[in-house]
């Protein structure tokens, strides 16, 4: 879940350029950061400061999300070998690091950190000491080391970066650079994802598993695990840059929520134009398949729950499974269509689920937000949700676009819904911001919150509760209204906030709401029929739509705003909540 950057150039660049590239990956982890330009290694705790006027032609940098070892300077990357000749930055987990560390310590190596990553630097120092060339040592490493890794490595005295990949994402950006006489001086940027360099180039080479590369200023070569030279294709990509800037917004999260009308309209338009053929193929695959199983995590899982509800309503057999438990519960065969949903396209648990699906000969489709991501490349068919860059860790507009794409898919099978006015309906929720802020102020004084839903609003209840947990640090539980009396109602105290999602004629949800209200709960109602909850009208957000599938999505937008304003009232670090990272690339 960390972010790594490497830059090699034929002309000098400032260290600040290296750190600016790293800053664009800070959403992947922000416990600590560091860089090395081969002459010195600098490490710091906290947010990245993109400063430094010194010049270099090579450097690697790292922003950390802690796994092994606490948040300390010693545990920050890059890590150096004993003699300082080998310098590495690593994203992933070395699973057999303890065995390797024990062997290396017997050989006289001294470790400075608590991390699993440091063994990489000592491993290569030892191989080089034994007289092995670096490329041969990398082949040995790929045979002997278990785990996931994207590794950037510099050897002092060499103007090149060695890059190694297994399961953790890694990409090479090709920048044209400046002309020196008649010669074009290229700058190469290695990174965890394309966003690190997508503002300066649209050309990239994507690593596959157990490949490594040797990258210099004017050249690069790729090799397979055995060290044989392989040819790689330079691919052009498109990525929206404007949406990655905060502008005048206080936080990226509120900016990204307010982009939802734009990105929804853009995606729906693309399904009728640029992605029309891909969408038709998806519809055809659904028709041909015996059953549909979604694989997703977190927010994407909640979107997939909505998708399963929509498809089930049309008579299609569909279910969804948390990706980390996929192989334990999925009954998959060649007639199964597995639909993976991931904002980043690099979620490790989803990748593992897809590997299992491949073993069982299932057909794989993916809905992702990042082009050329690992999950997209594993898929027979992929659609882009076109939400644009999300910088805030808490996903908002990606959830909306994932859910809308699945609703549009269900529409092809007879689900009655008008999607043409969805963007305007979202704006209608924005017009209630003052009321939502007032309600949020009340909620912010509580320790716990509960969100109740049924049918299409059950996944939404879970997603709203997740947003509250992620950015406010309050305990929040999203649940089926029908499960309330099976234990959770015992937790309701006087004044406990309960957010109730009530569709048009959902008498069961009205009953559940009255049950908690009778026990002293403070009711907050999100509904498209305010007359059903007159007693709680002062704490009501009105959703102007029928029960046509849009209600759940629009209710979630209201919940996103509520969570945001609660966090703001509490003074939380909204875009970078503690202990979290945007892209979950470890198990």
Higher pLDDT, 328 or 66: 328
pLDDT at site 579: 84
Residue 532: pLDDT band with limits 50, 70, 90 = low
Measure the CA–CA gap between 164 and 173, rounded to whole angstroms: 15
Measure the CA–CA gap between 506 and 485, rounded to whole angstroms: 17
> Residue 547 pLDDT > 90, yes or no?
no
Mean pLDDT, all residues of the chain: 92
Measure the CA–CA gap between 527 and 502, rounded to whole angstroms: 5
Percent over 70 (pLDDT), the chain: 95
Q: Which two tokens stand for residue 234?
A: 């330079």
As beta bridge partners, residue 524 has: 499
> Residue 178 pLDDT > 60, yes or no?
no
pLDDT at site 570: 97
Average pLDDT over residues 125-148: 95
Q: Which two tokens stand for residue 293?
A: 């199983």
pTM > 0.75: yes
Higher pLDDT, 84 or 68: 84
Cα four-point dihedral sign 412, 415, 417, 419: negative
pLDDT at site 29: 82
Measure the CA–CA gap between 516 and 308, rounded to whole angstroms: 29
pLDDT in tens, 198-233: 989 999 999 999 999 999 988 999 999 999 999 999
> Residue 180 pLDDT > 50, yes or no?
no
Crossing angle of helices 550-570 and 457-472, in 10° steps, is: 20
Average pLDDT over residues 121-150: 95
pLDDT at site 586: 63
> Residue 526 pLDDT > 90, yes or no?
yes
Crossing angle of helices 422-430 and 260-272, in 10° steps, is: 180
Residue 182: pLDDT band with limits 50, 70, 90 = very low
Q: Which domains does the chain have, with CATH numbers?
A: 3-236 (3.60.20.10), 240-420 (3.40.50.10490), 428-587 (3.40.50.10490)
pLDDT in tens, 18-60: 999 999 888 888 889 999 997 899 999 988 888 777 999 999 9
Q: Which two tokens stand for residue 108?
A: 């006289």
Measure the CA–CA gap between 532 and 506, rounded to whole angstroms: 9
> Residue 181 pLDDT > 50, yes or no?
no
For the annotated catalytic residues, the residue numbers are 2, 582
pLDDT at site 279: 98
Residue 2: pLDDT band with limits 50, 70, 90 = confident
> Residue 241 pLDDT > 60, yes or no?
no
> Residue 535 pLDDT > 90, yes or no?
no
Percent over 90 (pLDDT), the chain: 78
pLDDT in tens, 334-390: 999 999 999 999 999 999 999 999 999 999 999 999 888 999 999 999 999 999 889
Measure the CA–CA gap between 441 and 437, rounded to whole angstroms: 6
Query: Do β-strands 336-342 and 363-368 pair in parallel, antiparallel, or remain unpaired?
Result: parallel
pLDDT in tens, 72-102: 999 999 999 999 999 999 999 999 999 999 9
Please name the residues in contact with 345: beta carbons below 8 A apart, sequence gap of 6 or more.
Answer: 366, 368, 369, 370, 373, 374, 375, 376
Measure the CA–CA gap between 66 and 72, rounded to whole angstroms: 10
Residue 302: pLDDT band with limits 50, 70, 90 = very high
Average pLDDT over residues 470-484: 94
- Among 81-95, 136-150, 525-539, 548-562, the minimum mean pLDDT is found in 525-539
């Amino acid at each position: 879940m960390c972010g790594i950057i490497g830059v090699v150039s034929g002309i000098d660049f400032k260290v600040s350029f290296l750190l600016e590239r790293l800053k664009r990956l800070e959403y992947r982890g922000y416990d600590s950061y560091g860089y090395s330009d081969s002459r010195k290694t600098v490490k710091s705790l906290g947010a990245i400061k993109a400063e430094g006027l010194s010049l270099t032609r090579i450097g690697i940098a790292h922003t950390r999300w802690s796994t092994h070892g606490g948040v300390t300077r010693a545990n920050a990357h890059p890590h150096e070998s004993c003699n300082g000749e080998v310098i590495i930055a690593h994203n992933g987990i070395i699973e057999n690091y303890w065995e390797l560390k024990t062997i290396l310590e017997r050989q006289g190596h001294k470790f400075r950190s608590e991390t699993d990553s440091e063994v990489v630097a000592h491993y290569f120092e030892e191989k080089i000491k034994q007289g092995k060339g670096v490329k041969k040592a990398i082949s040995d490493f790929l045979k002997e080391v278990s785990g996931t890794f994207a590794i950037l490595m510099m050897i002092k005295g060499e103007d090149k970066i060695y890059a190694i990949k297994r399961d953790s994402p890694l990409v090479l950006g090709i920048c044209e650079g400046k002309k020196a006489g008649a010669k074009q001086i290229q700058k190469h940027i290695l990174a965890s994802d394309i966003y690190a360099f997508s503002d300066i180039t649209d050309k990239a080479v994507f690593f596959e598993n157990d490949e490594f590369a040797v990258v210099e200023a004017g050249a690069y070569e790729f090799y397979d695990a055995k060290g044989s030279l392989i040819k790689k294709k330079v691919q052009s990509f498109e990525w929206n840059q404007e949406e990655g800037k905060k502008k005048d917004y206080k936080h990226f999260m509120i900016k990204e929520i307010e982009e939802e009308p734009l990105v929804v309209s853009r995606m729906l338009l693309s399904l009728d134009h640029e992605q029309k053929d891909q969408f038709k193929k998806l519809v055809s695959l659904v028709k041909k398949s015996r059953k549909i199983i979604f694989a997703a995590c977190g927010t994407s899982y909640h979107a997939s729950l909505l998708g399963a509800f929509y498809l089930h309503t049309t008579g299609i057999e569909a279910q969804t499974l948390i990706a980390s438990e996929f192989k334990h519960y999925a009954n998959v065969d060649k007639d199964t269509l597995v639909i993976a949903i991931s904002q980043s396209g690099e979620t490790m648990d989803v990748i593992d689920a897809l590997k299992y699906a491949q073993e069982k000969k299932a057909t794989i489709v993916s809905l992702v937000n990042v082009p050329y991501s690992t999950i997209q490349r594993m898929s027979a068919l992929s659609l882009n949700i076109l939400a644009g860059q999300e910088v805030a860790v808490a996903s908002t507009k990606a959830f909306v676009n994932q859910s809308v794409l699945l609703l549009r898919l269900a529409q092809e099978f007879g689900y009655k819904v008008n999607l043409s006015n969805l963007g305007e309906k979202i704006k209608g929720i924005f017009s209630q911001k003052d009321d939502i802020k007032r309600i949020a102020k009340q909620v912010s004084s509580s320790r716990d919150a509960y969100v109740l839903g049924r049918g299409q609003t059950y996944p939404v209840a879970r997603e709203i509760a997740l947003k509250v947990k992620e950015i406010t640090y309050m305990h929040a539980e999203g649940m089926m209204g029908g499960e309330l009396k099976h234990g959770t109602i015992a937790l309701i105290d006087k004044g406990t906030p309960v957010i109730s999602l009530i569709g048009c004629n959902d008498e069961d949800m009205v009953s559940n709401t009255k049950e908690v209200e009778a026990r002293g709960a403070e009711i907050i109602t999100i509904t498209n029929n305010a007359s059903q909850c007159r007693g709680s009208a002062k704490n009501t957000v009105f959703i102007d739509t029928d029960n046509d599938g849009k209600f759940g999505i629009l209710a979630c937008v209201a919940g996103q705003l509520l969570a945001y304003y609660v966090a703001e009232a509490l003074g939380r670090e909204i875009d970078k909540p503690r202990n979290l990272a945007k892209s979950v690339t470890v198990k």
